[in-house]
Chain A
Amino acid sequence: MTSKDNIKSKKSEALDVFRRGLIRENPVFRLVLGMCSSLAVSSTLIGSLSMGIAVLIVLVMSNIIISLLRNVISDSIRIPAYITVIAGFVSVVEMLLQAFSTEIYDLLGIYLPLIVVNCIILGRAEGFANKNPVGMAALDGLGMGFGYIIAMVSIAFIRELLGFGSLFGIPIIPEEYHILLFSMPAGGFIVVGIMMAVSNKIAEKLGKPKAGLKEDACGGCPVAAHCQALRSNDLLAEGSEEAN
């Protein structure tokens, strides 16, 4: 695929690239990417919204840079190169948060540096940004980032409302009706599980396939397929060497 073909692509295609990530290929519920952070920081709306924005920024910026460098980075070292770019932007976001909002920095804690290994970002770099021009890559990043925010906020809406009885910290339900379970880690699993089941049901009605992981080790992470392919190539090569 040359970049010239892509430049010809029409406005509607660009719009489609953006909209795809929102619902149809929602990174959390449909592609099952970035589960760790979506389970961990989704107990409050503030936490999940700031996590979502942090991921959005890193995703868009790294998509842009990787797309710009797609002809420069050699194929065999591309994964480390992508990780370096992503880690750079994560450090920038980390430092910005540390400088301007220590509260949010503390709230996200260990999950902020872990954006580096968030499958969504590496997955989009490997699956989209390294084959497409800058504009498209940025749109894809925006779409996927907003899809992630939508997923995060909808999980957090349920968890904060039922667990803490509040929305964005504003109390709504009196304390005696709080269901502590939803604010605990267990609640994260249960809410995400039920939401995924609901999205499966809707997808089934629309005739779309179920959300699911591939049968390999990294789950939904698209890089896994690449790892797996590398491995099987290696094994084949070894086999033929032994045969010789």
Chain B
Amino acid sequence: MKEILSILFIAILVENYVFIKFLGICPFLGVSQKVDTAVGMSAAVIFVMVLATIVTWPINHFILEKLRMQYLQTLVFILIIAALVQIVETFMKKHMVSLYQALGIYLPLITTNCIVLGVVVLNVQRNYGFFTSIINSLGGGIGFLLAMFMFSGLRSKIDEADIPEFFEGLPITLLAAGLTALSFQGFVGVAENLFK
């Protein structure tokens, strides 16, 4: 239990996928202007990340590692993710219409999102077990949600602020992200003392 909590805490705060690991920066900069879109996108990302982990872990563990074909990991993972997103979208459209209406728009955009491939590769590199991998993916997704949610609120404030014109838009968002990243750095010590 302690291990699970520790992995979750580290994935959400200490190694926040947006602020510390720089994954999913494109949607973070592109989407995080409205709260609704930010939350919808994050929910779709969490869903696909967990699902991708559930599918890729057995394939990696029972097929690629058994046949010593780890060098195909990158290729296999990205194809699985692409196919998975497509299948989920088709399935949702037919059988889960309300869920599709909420998340469907974001699904095609997730295939080439580095956060999904990133978490899958990270799980393999760290030799996480099946269950731990799922927890790690879930934590990463929640961390992404946290970042998106925070910045969707922050950006509407920034839009009203009086700043030099050439800082408007992306540069000021990056600077704000930098300051937030700095505060997330503080969680390193918290995790060390909380779980030891």
How many Å lie between the Cα of A227 and that of B104 in the bound state?
12
Q: Given A87-B74, A113-B121, A185 and B109 touching (CB < 8 A)?
A: no
How many Å lie between the Cα of A118 and that of B118 in the bound state?
11
B162 CB to closest chain A CB, in angstroms?
A: 15
In the complex, residue of chain A having the shortest beta-carbon distance to the beta carbon of B33: A215
A residues in contact with B27, CB < 8 Å? 217-219
A208 CB to closest chain B CB, in angstroms?
A: 12
Instruction: Decide if B174 touches A36 in the complex (CB within 8 Å).
Output: no
Kindly identify which residue among B22, B170, B177, B181 contacts A196, using a CB–CB cutoff of 8 Å. Answer: B170
How many Å lie between the Cα of A223 and that of B26 in the bound state?
12
Assess whether B5 is interfacial by the CB under 8 Å rule: no
Instruction: Decide if A80 touches B82 in the complex (CB within 8 Å).
Output: yes
In the complex, residue of chain B having the shortest beta-carbon distance to the beta carbon of A204: B166
How many Å lie between the Cα of A192 and that of B24 in the bound state?
16
Assess whether B182 is interfacial by the CB under 8 Å rule: yes
Assess whether A57 is interfacial by the CB under 8 Å rule: no
Assess whether A116 is interfacial by the CB under 8 Å rule: yes
Instruction: Decide if A91 touches B75 in the complex (CB within 8 Å).
Output: yes
Instruction: Decide if A36 touches B30 in the complex (CB within 8 Å).
Output: no
Instruction: Decide if A39 touches B22 in the complex (CB within 8 Å).
Output: yes
Assess whether A73 is interfacial by the CB under 8 Å rule: no
B135 CB to closest chain A CB, in angstroms?
A: 18
Interface residues of B in 171-191 (CB under 8 A from A): 171-175, 177-179, 181-182, 185
How many Å lie between the Cα of A185 and that of B23 in the bound state?
12
A224 CB to closest chain B CB, in angstroms?
A: 6
Interface residues of B in 149-179 (CB under 8 A from A): 164-175, 177-179
Assess whether A94 is interfacial by the CB under 8 Å rule: yes
Q: Given A184-B182, A185-B181, A40 and B75 touching (CB < 8 A)?
A: no
B residues in contact with A87, CB < 8 Å? 74-75, 78-79
Assess whether A186 is interfacial by the CB under 8 Å rule: yes
Q: Given A110-B118, A211-B170, A95 and B112 touching (CB < 8 A)?
A: no
Assess whether B20 is interfacial by the CB under 8 Å rule: yes
A residues in contact with B117, CB < 8 Å? 113-114, 116-117
Interface residues of A in 106-143 (CB under 8 A from B): 109-110, 113-114, 116-119, 122
Instruction: Decide if A117 touches B171 in the complex (CB within 8 Å).
Output: no
Kindly identify which residue among B22, B74, B173, B174 contacts A40, using a CB–CB cutoff of 8 Å. Answer: B22
Assess whether A24 is interfacial by the CB under 8 Å rule: no
Known pairs A110-B21, A110-B118. 6 more at Cβ < 8 A? A35-B22, A80-B83, A83-B112, A197-B171, A217-B31, A218-B30
- Sort A-B residue pairs by CB-CB distance and give the 5 closest, nearest first: A193-B174, A189-B178, A219-B30, A197-B171, A190-B178
Task: Pick 30 A–B contacts, CB within 8 A, sort by A.
Answer: A32-B170, A36-B24, A83-B82, A83-B111, A87-B74, A90-B74, A91-B74, A110-B125, A113-B121, A114-B118, A117-B78, A117-B113, A117-B114, A122-B112, A186-B179, A189-B19, A189-B175, A190-B178, A192-B174, A197-B172, A210-B166, A211-B170, A213-B29, A214-B30, A215-B33, A217-B106, A219-B30, A221-B112, A223-B112, A231-B105
